[in-house]
Amino acid sequence: MNLKHTAAKIRHTLCDVSSKTKTPHLGSCLSCVDILTSLYWQILNIDPSNPKMANRDYFLLGKGHAASALYTALAYRGYFGVESLYEHGQTGSQFEEHPGINAPSGVESVSGSLGHALSLATGMALSTQLQGRDNRFYVLMGDGELNEGTVWEAAMFAAGKQLDNLVAIVDFNKLQGTGESCDIMHLEPLEEKWRAFGWYTIRLDGHNIEALNAAFEEAKKQSQPVCIVADTIKGKGVSFMENDNNWHYRIPKAEEVERAKEELGL
Ligand SMILES: Cc1ncc(C[n+]2csc(CCOP(=O)(O)OP(=O)(O)O)c2C)c(N)n1
């Protein structure tokens, strides 16, 4: 399977859905598509026809404002039809702008208030270990999300409990809603911070799907929690959106979606 093509299709659908449903956070979504593609197509032990499979792996989206990226990956992975993505953000829809309690099949947790997913996953990972089960837990956080103190409380706890079934991924696109992440909070040296908290760390290009696949396999061999610091580009894949933080909120016009489609080679 050509995962680069899968990622390109997801990116185009994200642009189209944002344009047609008038929903924001497109730059945030495009940033994490390759991470989701690696996880959902290569790494996670999941079965879209049996979404509650007892021994499944869990993905928790910390940066809940990128819900559309998760919904779109789930749709292409077969959890529901791609056409339902166009209900995104509409009144009464399951596809809320941040995943809610009625979220569609495959969504494992509510999110939107940044900084809670790692705590949630830490509790789930510990409970799973205590029951002698082998589910694994993957949490995707934005770099701005790391401003939240709850993240570091969970980081300390997870390492103390040697949760070797827990992987945190930081979508390190260097931007957040209102500016540059390292200006707003002193994040670097980021890997060293996670290591000091007792985590095994890997740093990589978050748009290199092969490198992501290899890193997630490496993570499975560790006897402590793993943090993957993924260098990414907000708006990745569409030249006029890349590193332009206006696309945290901006909605593309139909002609911009067409330009994006061409650039994505579709
Ligand atoms: C607790 C909390 N505070 C503030 C917000 C508002 N908010 C939504 S997105 C965002 C920026 C997030 O930046 P980052 O985590 O770096 O994600 P990116 O969109 O850059 O990928 C903020 C502050 C929120 N959702 N939750």
Question: 176 C-alpha to center of ligand 1: Å?
Answer: 6
Let me know the angle formed at the C-alpha of 42 by 10 and 29, rounded to the nearest 5 degrees: 30
- What does the pLDDT read at residue 122? 98
- What does the pLDDT read at residue 97? 96
Binding site membership of 181 for ligand 1 (Cβ less than 6 Å): yes
Let me know the angle formed at the C-alpha of 120 by 162 and 159, rounded to the nearest 5 degrees: 20
Domains of the chain: 3-263 (3.40.50.970)
What is the per-residue pLDDT across 89-112, written as a single tens digit (0 to 9) for each? Answer: 999 999 999 999 999 999 999 999
Q: Which residues pair with 200 in a beta bridge?
A: 226
- What does the pLDDT read at residue 103? 97
Note the pTM of the prediction, 2 decimals. Answer: 0.98
Q: Which residues of the chain have pLDDT under 70?
A: none
Q: Whose CA is nearest to atom 21 of ligand 1?
A: 28
Ligand 1: nearest atom to the Cα of 65: 9
251, two tokens: 């909605």
96, two tokens: 């809320």
Ligand 1: nearest atom to the Cα of 115: 1
Binding site membership of 176 for ligand 1 (Cβ less than 6 Å): yes
- What does the pLDDT read at residue 138? 99
- Pocket perturbation via mutation, ligand 1, pick of 28, 36, 114 by most ligand atoms within 8 A of CB: 114
- What does the pLDDT read at residue 1? 74
Burial (CB < 10 A; 0-12, 13-18, 19+), residue 195, is middle
What is the per-residue pLDDT across 159-177, written as a single tens digit (0 to 9) for each? Answer: 999 999 999 999 999 999 9
Compute φ and ψ for 151, nearest 5 degrees.
Answer: -60, -45
Q: Whose CA is nearest to atom 9 of ligand 1?
A: 177
Binding site membership of 115 for ligand 1 (Cβ less than 6 Å): yes
